[in-house]
Structure 1
Amino acid sequence: MSHSVNSILSQIRSYQSQVAQAAPTGDVARGNAIGGLGGLAGTQPTAAPSFSQTLQGALAGVNQAQQTSSTLAAAFERGDPNADLARVMVASQQSQLAFRATVEVRNRLVQAYQDVMNMPL
């Protein structure tokens, strides 16, 4: 199961890097925005990708994998010559692994939330 968690974390990191590459001013401005020090050293703060945006991107990827798997399975059942059994099985396994990893991330987020809520003040 740890491999699937590592897989979803690597997907999240890749989404973060894609968003970071789209930002014109780079890591310095992103670091300032995160630290709340916007405007230091003559840089303008840029919008760093939020956790919810990163999570939505990862969930969209999982959804896309499931839709692709479903489409290939339906095409195989109809007898489409472009949908061979190997592609259908690989797509199915990819979507299952992505879903399991997503459930594991959700479980860990819920556990972290519960741990924070149970902390004494």
Structure 2
Amino acid sequence: MTTIDVNSLLLQMRRISAQTEMPAIRGVGETGQAAKGSFGDVLKQSIEGVSQSQAKAAQMSSAFERGDPGIDLAQVMIQGQKADLSFRAMTEVRNKMVDAYKEIMNMSV
């Protein structure tokens, strides 16, 4: 089983955030340049990450149900919560994007 390093996950989140923000308002403590990519690419990578997290949670749950000795209930529950949290975050991002789109569409030219 692989574990997720919290620091590397935080760094990845800061890089994604840095790609969408102006350089003058980046958080304190961030160093280095973020990789350049289109918003669509970043969004696609995020959705794929959520999908992988959900697939891993389902796989671990199935392994636990089969009685796999290497999987315990705590691991299954933690992975399930990670998948749930990532899906909720993705849903909130989608909601904000829809709200922004509606606001732009209601602007008068």
Structure-2-length-normalised TM-score: 0.70
2:69 to 67, 70, 81: 81
Identify the structure with the greater helix proportion. 1
Aligned to 2:47: 59
Unaligned runs of 5+ in 1: 1-9, 18-25, 31-46
Aligned to 1:7: none
Structure having the higher Rg: 1
- Equivalents in 2 of 1:61, 1:100: separation in Å? 13
Cα root mean square deviation, aligned: 2.5
- Equivalents in 2 of 1:16, 1:107: separation in Å? 17
Q: How many aligned positions are there? A: 87
Unaligned runs of 5+ in 2: 1-10, 19-31
Q: 2:86 corresponds to which letter in structure 1?
A: A
Matches within 5 A, 1:40-119: 48-119=36-107
Verify: 1:14 aligned to 2:2, yes or no.
Answer: no
Q: 2:45 corresponds to which letter in structure 1?
A: G
Displacement of 1:48 after TM fit?
Answer: 2.7
Percent pairwise identity: 44
Displacement of 1:14 after TM fit?
Answer: 3.3
Deviation >3 Å, runs of 4+: 10-17
